[in-house]
């Protein structure tokens, strides 16, 4: 295996101002110990850190860490080659590798996105347990670990991200790595019996045992994981709040991910959005075109709202930005067809020559424009059927004008609902309820909108991306200093310990 250092010029910093602000904040907020160790980030996909601010979501968070502190970011560069590439491409703080066509098919589209993604989002019906997927999933994790291992230093903190890489720590440990290794799951952890439907669930649980810290988005996810470990694979909670899993002790906690609020603070109303009628009010939805995002239900609820409230016809539009994703997985083709048919039928039924009720955009929109679109929208309609966190909910709140804010309607099944209770919380499966809540949101008076927005903004600011990063790394540092008990164990673990003590 070779490591190719392109040895290019130092990376240009197009967002120098943002990077500097982020760096100042990081340095000001992170614990003393964390300043000294290098962070090795491992994620399925590594984005060009110069372009990440345009990408949104977790890419922004990881690129920020990679840019602003001693770090190495390792993963797939997005290239697919016919033959296995053993070469690691090194460019500054980024180290990437290519995948083969077979890896991409069986590890990425196959096991990661046709087994783990649907099952973790409670869609067992969509899971494709095909022969060969799991073996390739393990094989790619093993190869990635072998490619990273020569680049590691003894005192690195390793932070692995997301469901593509569950077995990564096991593979690194096999190669002798003793470093603290943390894992963060960006998607929800399913109820324990759902997880047990995965034929290889025990191997996956064994993989989890190789981590020192497992971070999840919400307390509900922690409860699901702890219940699974106890019931499914004989995990035992020990008195210091960790879980004994096979021969290792693992900490589990919730670390709700957030956004960089400053990115949205300067949003302005987007004049280019107004339709033929200037008085039109906008509802905004921004979701990758994924079956977990509840888009058909959202369109149906909007249709129902127009049906039940004729006075709003001609007065409101639903703008749905739904960029394509994983188009070669069958379930994604189905959802696209379903959505296009629904948009067509609602527009055909209610539309006028000068008013189209649903603006459906199946393309990506520039990130700098998103903030302005959020600010110009009276309602943010965020109604996934299941979601780890949902950053769009937070972005919508952060972009509002505090003196005249819009209303966030949020699914009870998004992780964000756990701490954003001042949103109008809906059950996205209940079309009639969602339709009625859209009406309530339009009728909500200014004082109530301001009061809800203020409370939501407080949460979004408190749980921002820097706080997320800081709290996870601080806990991983405690693992290194062998002081894992010096933190408040999560609620389900405390409850289990209290019950044990009582008996
Ligand atoms: C996973 C978990 C968890 C969307 N369309 C465009 C665009 N976006 C940006 C949004 C937002 C991000 O993509 C989407 O983030 P979400 O959190 O909504 O969802 P996932 O992509 O499913 O992310 C999720 C997240 O990881 C983080 O842990 O919250 O639950 O599923 O930032 O703004 N950005 C641009 N154009 C678009 O058209 N530029």
261 CB neighbour count, 10 Å cutoff: 18
Tell me, yes or no, if 387 is annotated catalytic: yes
Task: Establish how many alpha carbons lie within 13 A of residue 32's alpha carbon, considering only the half-sphere containing its beta carbon.
Answer: 1
Residue 22 Ramachandran class (φ > 0 left, ψ -120 to 50 alpha, else beta): alpha
Cα angle, residue 387 at apex, residues 337 and 393 outer, rounded to 5°: 95
The per-residue pLDDT string of the chain (503 residues; one tens digit each, 9 = 90 and over) reads 545 544 332 332 322 233 334 434 443 334 434 456 899 999 999 987 676 665 666 787 788 888 888 999 999 999 999 887 778 999 999 999 999 999 999 999 999 999 999 999 999 999 999 999 999 999 999 999 999 999 999 999 999 999 999 999 999 999 999 999 999 999 999 999 999 999 999 999 999 999 999 999 999 999 999 999 999 998 999 888 899 998 899 999 999 999 999 989 887 776 555 444 557 999 999 999 999 999 999 999 999 999 999 999 999 999 999 998 877 777 788 888 899 999 999 999 999 999 999 999 999 998 889 999 999 999 999 999 999 999 999 999 999 999 999 999 999 999 999 999 999 999 999 999 999 999 999 999 999 999 999 999 999 999 999 999 999 999 999 887 877 666 777 887 888 788 777 87
Q: Where are the alpha helices (DSSP H) in 149-218?
A: 168-174, 192-195, 201-208
Calculate how far, in angstroms, residue 239's C-alpha sits from the geometric centre of ligand 1. Answer: 38
The ligand 1 site (C-beta within 6 Å) comprises 54, 56-58, 186-187, 257, 286, 288, 321, 323, 364-365, 367, 370, 387-392, 395
Which atom from ligand 1 is nearest to the alpha carbon of 257? 28
Calculate how far, in angstroms, residue 393's C-alpha sits from the geometric centre of ligand 1. Answer: 10
Q: Where are the beta strands (DSSP E) in 383-422?
A: 407-411
Range 24-27 contact pairs with CB under 8 angstroms and sequence separation of 24 or more = 25/466, 26/64, 26/65, 26/68, 26/69, 26/466, 26/469, 26/470
Q: Which residues on adjacent β-strands are paired with residue 73?
A: 41, 94
Q: Where are the alpha helices (DSSP H) in 121-240?
A: 133-148, 168-174, 192-195, 201-208, 219-233
Calculate how far, in angstroms, residue 56's C-alpha sits from the geometric centre of ligand 1. Answer: 6
Tell me, yes or no, if 221 is annotated catalytic: no
Which atom from ligand 1 is nearest to the alpha carbon of 392? 18
Calculate how far, in angstroms, residue 134's C-alpha sits from the geometric centre of ligand 1. Answer: 27
pTM of the full structure: 0.91
- Candidate of 160, 319, 390, 391 to mutate for ligand 1, largest count of ligand atoms within 8 Å of Cβ: 391
Choose the catalytic residue: 104, 121, 161, 186: 186
- Candidate of 63, 183, 286 to mutate for ligand 1, largest count of ligand atoms within 8 Å of Cβ: 286
Residue 97: closest CA among 27, 145, 136 = 145
Distances (CA, A) of 343 to 160, 365, 432: 39, 19, 18
- Cβ neighbourhood burial of 359 (10 Å; 0-12, 13-18, 19+): middle
């Amino acid at each position: 295996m070779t490591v190719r250092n392109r040895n290019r010029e130092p990376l240009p910093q197009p967002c120098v101002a943002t990077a500097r602000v982020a760096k100042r904040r990081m340095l000001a907020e992170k614990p003393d110990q964390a300043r000294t160790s290098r962070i090795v980030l491992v994620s399925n996909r590594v984005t060009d850190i110069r372009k990440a601010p345009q990408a949104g979501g977790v890419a922004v968070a990881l690129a920020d860490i990679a840019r602003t502190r001693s770090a190495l970011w390792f993963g797939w560069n997005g290239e697919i080659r016919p033959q296995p590439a053993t070469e690691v491409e090194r460019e500054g703080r980024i180290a990437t590798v290519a995948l083969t066509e077979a890896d991409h098919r069986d590890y990425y589209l196959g096991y990661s996105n046709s087994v783990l993604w649907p099952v973790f989002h409670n869609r067992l019906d969509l899971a494709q347990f095909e022969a060969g997927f799991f073996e390739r999933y393990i094989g790619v994790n093993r190869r990635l670990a072998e490619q990273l291992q020569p680049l590691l230093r003894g005192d690195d903190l390793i932070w692995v991200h997301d469901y593509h890489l569950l077995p990564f720590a096991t593979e690194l440990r096999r190669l002798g790595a003793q470093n603290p290794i943390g894992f963060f799951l960006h998607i929800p952890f399913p109820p324990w019996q759902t997880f047990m439907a995965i034929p290889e669930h025990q191997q996956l649980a064994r993989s989890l045992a190789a981590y020192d810290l497992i971070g999840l988005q919400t307390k509900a996810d922690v409860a699901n994981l702890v219940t699974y470990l106890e019931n499914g694979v004989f995990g035992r909670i020990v008195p210091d709040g960790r879980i004994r899993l096979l021969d290792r002790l693992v900490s589990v906690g919730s670390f709700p991910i957030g956004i960089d609020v400053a990115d949205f603070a300067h949003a302005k109303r987007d004049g280019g959005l107004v339709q033929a009628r200037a008085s039109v009010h906008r509802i905004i939805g921004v979701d990758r075109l994924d079956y977990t995002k509840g888009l058909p239900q959202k369109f149906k609820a909007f249709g129902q709202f127009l049906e039940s409230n004729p006075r709003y016809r001609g007065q409101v539009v639903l703008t749905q930005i739904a960029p394509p994703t994983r188009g070669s997985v069958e379930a994604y083709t189905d959802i696209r067809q379903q959505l296009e048919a629904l948009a067509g039928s609602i527009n055909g039924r209610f539309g006028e020559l000068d008013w189209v009720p649903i603006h459906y955009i199946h393309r990506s929109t520039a990130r700098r424009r998103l903030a302005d679109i959020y600010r110009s929208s009276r309602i943010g309609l965020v109604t996934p059927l299941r979601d780890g966190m949902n950053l769009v909910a937070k972005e919508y709140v952060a972009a509002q004008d505090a003196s005249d804010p819009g209303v966030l309607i949020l699914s009870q099944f998004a992780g964000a609902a756990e701490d954003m209770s001042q949103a109008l919380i809906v059950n996205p499966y209940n079309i009639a309820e969602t339709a009625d809540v859209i009406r309530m949101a339009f009728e909500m008076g200014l004082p109530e909108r301001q009061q809800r927005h203020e409370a939501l903004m407080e949460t979004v600011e408190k749980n921002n991306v820097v706080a997320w990063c800081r709290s996870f790394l601080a806990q991983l540092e405690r693992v290194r200093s062998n002081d894992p008990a010096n933190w408040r164990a999560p609620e389900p673990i405390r409850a289990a310990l209290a019950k044990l003590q009582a008996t």
